[in-house]
Structure 1
């Protein structure tokens, strides 16, 4: 028996998010479409996957067992699609890559030169985005591949793999900021000062303190705000070293700096073509 990939993805998303409506938003479908797809899957399997008596659907014992199997099926389908794309050699006419400020690799410039030599006739576009904005750009088809701060889970329609690169993020302030004169800074002292935090267009805040805050959708903008003395910000060390124009002070605070892993991400609904796969291969080096 064959099962609809859309129904399988709907099942996985609903199980992970705990809501049919949340799954619908993630997959850009109506809630009725998700509910129907899952109901049809239950009919095909002759198994009840969700207990719908509670406020939110809860996986049944059978649903929990089937969930892992469905994930394996989707992963196998994804690998088959990638292989078929490679074998067909249907090179895409355009490639859009999402670059994150947390990503730093000495190979990045070389990758650009090599890409131009390998695919001279392909239109290449580079976007800057972070966190949820990266996921949304991939899901809407606006971009093909990207890099993102590694997370524990992804939507069912997003594939990923861990890159060999990591980034150190520390808390910085301008040299003239009151916190810069302290040998050790506490969380309470941070909360009493303005935080400059990363806030994506999708509206998912990051490291937001309880005090006064300003925000921006990129680390470069936060860097400029910090340089002007408007507050403290968690910034990639490499970015500060390379792009700061005025002195910044790294604060000594418990738990910082933090080492961040980075993932390459792409949509498995519209997987990258040969040029995109080439770029992903270079990211892994």
Structure 2
């Protein structure tokens, strides 16, 4: 291969400007230099690119086909230059982001990923979705650089969590569950039935159940699914209670004796000893803004 990027740029200019002279003026070069570059490119590629029999040169069939390839090569070179500049300025070349499955299909998260693609097109991004306990574990063992999850206890000394939003929770049961028939259920009523609880990472940091009958799960979506089947009552983020597969089969329990369900915090986690690049910092900031804009409470 003896052709150069400069020759490809001249080919594109000639094709877009319609003549060698117009391309020369656009590139700030002598027409003879442009003509010579095209002739050398044709020799290097071993095929004619322009038909010069008319008043103005016209792309041959081979020239039309290779013009598309030339543009693709130029675009790739532009991406390489942009990526090299970004890396030189300290931006991460790649990022592994772990996201709690409870935050899947949430507009603030999806909108942030869309903005990330626009602002940092050269970034190589890997997305890992997992249950709540998986996220902190992946960040801790360096499988992921940054995690987004619903806050839990027992993250360990190497992780740092930064809160970015609060989500309202809902106390739910299946429509045909005995608790659903009570006008004003009490804590004592809840204690008479199975509780479905989220499982935290550490044995010592688990929240105490309200009843002797309880199951622990590592997924809020699984909790909601089992609740629809009448297997117990559960405290889940409200957006999960309203998720289309569940919302018609669940009812929220409410009453003065139960009070207002607590909120749950959304946070990002990273290792304390890890470098925080500008893209990771941008992600944290933008996620917080998106949640605040939509008032996810």
Measured against the shorter chain, the TM-score band is 0.5 to 0.7
Does the C-alpha gap of structure 1 residues 121 and 147 become closer, same or farther in structure 2, counting only changes over 3 Å? closer
Q: Distance in 1 between matches of 2:105 and 2:270?
A: 19
The match for 1:209 is 210
Shift of 1:112: 1.6
Alignment of 1:9-158 (within 5 A): 89-99=90-100, 101=102, 106-117=107-118, 118-130=120-132, 132-150=133-151, 155-158=156-159
In structure 2, list runs of 5 or more residues that go unmatched: 1-85, 290-297
Cα pair 1:100 1:147 within 8 Å, conserved:
no
Scaled by the length of structure 1, the TM-score of the pair is 0.60
Q: Residue 257 in 1 paired to residue 258 in 2?
A: no
The match for 1:169 is 169
Cα pair 2:153 2:200 within 8 Å, conserved:
no
Q: Which has the higher helix share?
A: 2
Which stretch of structure 1 is more off in the superposition, 118-127 or 232-241? 118-127
Shift of 1:161: 2.5
Q: Residue 229 in 1 paired to residue 230 in 2?
A: yes
Shift of 1:89: 1.1
The match for 1:14 is none
Q: Distance in 2 between matches of 1:143 and 1:95?
A: 5
The match for 1:70 is none
Cα pair 2:154 2:202 within 8 Å, conserved:
no
* 1:14-34 superposed Cα distances (whole Å, 9 cap, x missing partner): xxxxxxxxxxxxxxxxxxxxx
SS in 2 for 1:91: coil
Does the C-alpha gap of structure 1 residues 193 and 168 become closer, same or farther in structure 2, counting only changes over 3 Å? same
SS in 1 for 2:242: helix
SS in 1 for 2:102: coil
Which stretch of structure 1 is more off in the superposition, 104-113 or 191-200? 104-113
Q: Distance in 2 between matches of 1:151 and 1:231?
A: 22
Cα pair 2:170 2:241 within 8 Å, conserved:
no
Q: Residue 183 in 1 paired to residue 188 in 2?
A: no
Q: Distance in 2 between matches of 1:87 and 1:142?
A: 24
The match for 2:197 is 197
SS in 1 for 2:107: coil
Which stretch of structure 1 is more off in the superposition, 228-237 or 132-141? 132-141
Cα pair 1:92 1:275 within 8 Å, conserved:
no
Shift of 1:124: 1.9
Q: Distance in 2 between matches of 1:274 and 1:239?
A: 32
Cα pair 2:99 2:128 within 8 Å, conserved:
yes
Q: Residue 240 in 1 paired to residue 241 in 2?
A: yes
* 1:114-140 superposed Cα distances (whole Å, 9 cap, x missing partner): 22232344032132332x544332221
* 1:86-128 superposed Cα distances (whole Å, 9 cap, x missing partner): 9851523232222352688533222222222323440321323
SS in 2 for 1:107: helix
Does the C-alpha gap of structure 1 residues 245 and 284 become closer, same or farther in structure 2, counting only changes over 3 Å? closer
Shift of 1:180: 0.3
The structure number with the bigger radius of gyration is 2
Cα pair 2:100 2:131 within 8 Å, conserved:
yes
In structure 1, list runs of 5 or more residues that go unmatched: 1-84
Q: Distance in 1 between matches of 2:196 and 2:123?
A: 41
Shift of 1:207: 4.8
The match for 1:30 is none
Scaled by the length of structure 2, the TM-score of the pair is 0.58
Shift of 1:284: 2.2
